[in-house]
Structure 1
Amino acid sequence: MKASLFALAAAAALTVSAGSALAGDVTVTLTGVQARGGDLLVGLQTQGQFLRHAGSYGEILANPTAGTRTVVLHNVAPGDYSITALHDADGDRTMKLVNGRPGEGWGMLHGETLRAAPTFDQVKFTVPASGNVALTVAMDYPAN
Structure 2
Amino acid sequence: IIASGAYTVNRGTKTADFAVLRLTNMPAALVELAFITNAQDADILRNRQNDLAVAVSKGILNYLGIPYQGGGSTLYKVQVGAFSVKANADNLANELKAKGYSPIVVTVGGLYKVQVGAFSVRANADVLANELRAKGYDAIVVV
Structure showing the higher helix proportion among its residues = 2
Q: What is the TM-score when the length of structure 1 is the normalising length?
A: 0.24
Say which structure, 1 or 2, has more relative contact order (CA 8 Å, 6+ apart): 1
Q: What is the TM-score when the length of structure 2 is the normalising length?
A: 0.24
Structure showing the higher strand proportion among its residues = 1
